[in-house]
Structures are given as C-alpha cells and as structure tokens.
Structure 1
Amino acid sequence: MTILVFFIAHWYLSLLMQTFFLHRYAAHKMFTMSPAWEKFFYTATWIFQGSSFLSPYAYGVMHRLHHAYADTELDPHSPSFSDSIADMMWKTKNYYNNIVRQTDQIDAKFKKGVPHWDLMEKIGDSWISRIGWGTLYVLFYIQFATFWWMFLLLPIHFLMGPVHGVIINWYAHRYGYVNFKVDDTAKNLLPFDFLMMGESYHNNHHKFGGRANFGIKWHEFDPTYPFILVLNKLKIIKLKKNNDLLYM
C-alpha cells in the first residue's frame, strides 16, 4: 500500500509541475509570478520530478516550437514524422539537449520571456542529481515493497517526465476525439481527464493555446485549473484576463 501511495503521489506531483509550471507558465505565460515564486516552483519541479527533472527553459522553448510547427518536420516531437515512440523520444531528447547546452540555432523569438535559473538548471540536469534521486527511489522500494512486481514500477519513477510527455505527444496526436478543427492532429485523449491533470485535452489546447482552463465541454474537468484559481486568489500568481470560462 505504501508503494502504491508513493507511486501515485510521484505521478501527480511530477505532472502538476509539468502542466502548471513548465507548460502553462514557462511555455505559454498564462499567468505571471514574482521572481521569488518562480524560484520556488523551479525548486518544487526539481523535488517532484526528481531523476526525470525537465528544464523549464528547454521545455518552454521546445513547446513553443511544437505549437508553431505542429506536425511538420520542424516539430520537435511529432508522430507524423517519427517511425515509433522510441524514434520520437530520441529526436525530442536531441532537441532538448541542444537547448539545455545552448548549442541550438532556434530563433530568439521562441526564447523570449522563458524562465531560466542557471543554478537549478545545472543541478537538476546533473547526473549526480539524477542518480541520487534514483537511488532514493530504490532504497524506498527496498524498505517498503511487499511484492516483487512492485519493483517493475521503478523505471517509471526514473523517467516520469518523459513518460508524461510520451502519453500526450504520441497518443494525443493519434487517438481520441476532436472538438475543434485545427491545423494539426491534436486530439482530446480522454473525455474526463483523471490521468493527466488536463493535459489530455490536447485538441482544446491547440485551439486555445493561451487559455489556462484546458477543459471546454461540460464533462472536461481540468484538475489543474482550480489549483491555478486558488494561487491566483492568494496572489501567488496573477492570471491573465483572457482566461474566461468557456463551455460547449
């Protein structure tokens, strides 16, 4: 029971940082926050993503490219130009590493305003950090695992961020339903997103890229949006005014 609670907590806390901080803030700037709170959420991302820490800077730049060039050869992660999930993720890794190492040739307009905390970027991307977090996961499992099959969950812990990315970048461009006609293959993967905290409403997001609430239809509940509203109410963030509720 302890292992399953730990796995579920890691899944959703890691995903929360990805959808709230990396996606809706770093890439889209749907809301603003002070430099101090930005560093707080940078640190929270490192803690909750752990060994699979994703650079908010690299993620933000890469995701902007995805929207600008969705399902073309310039898209950093398109199933339409990849032979398999492994092929797509390998290409994504190369894009990501070039941005992190600042060896890319990406137009400066895609980098404007994307948060960058050099210290945490270096810590989170270091092998010492990644192996350290991975070691902690293994030790936790040794202490609390009660069945051998529980250890099969460890690879997901090690690669939690990329696993979340694959679910949306591959499957939400191949399967699901469409609310809006867009110029790419983005689909809504789930009618009720209990799994990806709103990220699976991918077709909605590609239609309204700056809208903080990813749900549109009455049944499309976005679990991250109430979290955003609470932080806005507490004045931790400031939600932009173009985020009115819209339902179909």
Structure 2
Amino acid sequence: MVIILFVLILWYGGLFFQSFFLHRYAAHQVFTMSKPMERITFILTWIFQGSSYLSAYGYGIMHRMHHAYTDTEKDPHSPSYDANLFAMMWKTKTIYQDINTDKIDVDPRFTKNVPQWKSFDRFAGSRFSRLLWMSLYVLFFVFFVTAWWQWLLLPITFLMAPIHGVIINWFGHIYGYVNYQMKNTSKNLFRFDFLMMGEGYHNNHHKHASRANFGVKWYEIDMTYVVIKILDAVGVIKLKPIRIKK
C-alpha cells in the first residue's frame, strides 16, 4: 500500500507542476506570479518530477511550437508524422535538449517571457540529479515493497514526465471525443479527467489555448484549474482576464 501511495504522489504531484507551472504558466502565461514564487515553483517542480525533471524554458518553447505547427512536419510531437509513440518520444527529447542547449535557432515569438533559471536547470536536469533521484526511488522500493509485482511500478517513477507527455501528445491526438471541429487531430481523452488533472481536455485546450480552465462542459472538471483558482483567491498567483477564442 505504501508503494502505491508513493507512486500516486509522484504521479499527481509531478503532473500538477507540469500542468500548472510548465504548461499554463511557462508556455501560455494564463496567470502571473512573483519572482520569489516562481523560483519556489521551479524547486517544487524538481522535487515532484525528480528524475524526469523538465525545464520551464525548454518545455514552454516546445509547447508553443506544438500549438503553432500542430500536426505538421514542424510539430515537435505528432502521431501524424511520427511512426510510433517511441519515435515521437525520442524526437521530442531531442528537440527539447536542443532548445535547452541552444543548438537550434528558435523563432523569437516562442521565447517571449518564457521563465528561465539557467543555473538551476543545469543542476536539476543534470545526470547527477537524475541518478540521485533514481537511487532514492530504488531505496524507497527496497524498504517498502511487499510484493514482487510492485517492482513493475519502479520504471514509472523514473519516467513520469515522459509518460504524462505521451498520454496527451500521442493518445490525445488519436482517441477521445471533440467539442470543436478543428484543423488538427486534438481530442478530449475523458469526460471527467481523473487521470491527467485537466490536461486530457486536449481538444478544448487547442481551441482556447489562453484559457486557464481546460474544461468547457459542466462535467469536464479541470482539477488543476480548481487549485489555480484557490491560489489566485489567496494571492499566491494572479489570473489574467479570460480571452475566449470564437
């Protein structure tokens, strides 16, 4: 039971900071926060993503490219142009690393106001940091595993962020339903997104990219947005005015 709880904490903790910080803040800037709060959120993202930490800068730029080039050859991740999900993951990893190491020229429109903390990202995304987290996960499993099958969950802890990414960027462009007919393959994976905390409302998001709440129907409850509203109410962040794309 301890192992299951541990994996769930890593799953939803890492997912929340990927959605809240990397996606809605770094890429789309649907809310603002103070510089000290931004630095605290960088650190919390590292703690919860652990060995699969993603920098706000690399993620933010790549996600903006995804919206600009959805389902075209320039899309960093698209089932329409990648042979399988593993090929897509490898391509995504390569583009992400090239952005972070300045190996490719990036259109200035994709870099505007994207948060960056170079020194921290060098440490948090380093091989040392990733191996440290992986070692800690292994030790935790050694102490708390009570059945052989629980060891099968260990690789998930190592690759949490890529798994979250592939669920949305692969399956969210193949399976599900649509609220909006668009010139791309984005789908809503679930009518109530219990698994991805609102990220599964991918079709809604592609229609209203600057909207903080990814749900549009009454039953499409976006749990990340619920937390965002609470943080806005207590003054930790400040939501920007809603801009609805018609």
What is aligned with 1:58?
58
Residue 154 (structure 2) aligns with = 154
CA contact (8 A) 1:212 1:243 kept: no
Deviation at 1:243, TM superposition (A): 6.1
Please give the alpha-carbon distance, in whole angstroms, between the structure 2 residues aligned to 1:183 and 1:43: 37
Distance 1:42 1:243 in 2: 27
Q: What is residue 139 of structure 1 aligned with on the other side?
A: 139
Q: Deviations over 1:138-181 (max 9, x none)?
A: 00000000001111111110010000000000000000000001
Alignment match, 2:183: 183
| Aligned partner letter, 1:121 | D
Q: How many residues align?
A: 244
**Counterparts in 2 of 1:115-126, with a 5 A limit?**
115-126=115-126
Q: TM-score, normalised by structure 2?
A: 0.98
Extract structure 1 runs of 4+ deviating beyond 3 A. none
Report the residue type matching 2:45 in the other structure.
T
2:216 alignment counterpart: 216
The residue type paired with residue 159 of structure 1 is L
Structure 2 residue identity aligned to 1:147: A
The answer for the alignment partner of 2:31 in structure 1 is 31
Q: Could you tell me which residue of structure 2 aligns to residue 236 of structure 1?
A: 236
With structure 1 as the length reference, what TM-score do the two structures score?
A: 0.97
* 1:127 counterpart residue number: 127
Counterpart Cα distance in 1 of 2:213 and 2:231: 14
Say which SS state the counterpart of residue 32 (structure 2) adopts. strand
Q: 2 CA distance for matches of 1:147 and 1:36? A: 43
Give yes or no for contact 1:213–1:243 (8 Å, CA) kept in 2. Answer: no
1:225 pairs with 2:225:
yes
Q: Is the 8 A contact 1:193 1:201 kept in 2?
A: yes
Q: Provide the rounded CA distance (Å) in 1 between the counterparts of 2:6 and 2:191.
A: 26
**Partners in 1 of 2:141 and 2:132 — Cα distance?**
14
Percent identical across equivalent pairs?
Answer: 55
Distance in 2, matches of 1:183 and 1:34, equals 37
Aligned positions of 1:83-94 closer than 5 A: 83-94=83-94
> 1:199-225: per-residue Cα shift (whole Å, max 9, x none)?
000000000000000011111000011
Q: Secondary structure at the match of 1:79?
A: coil
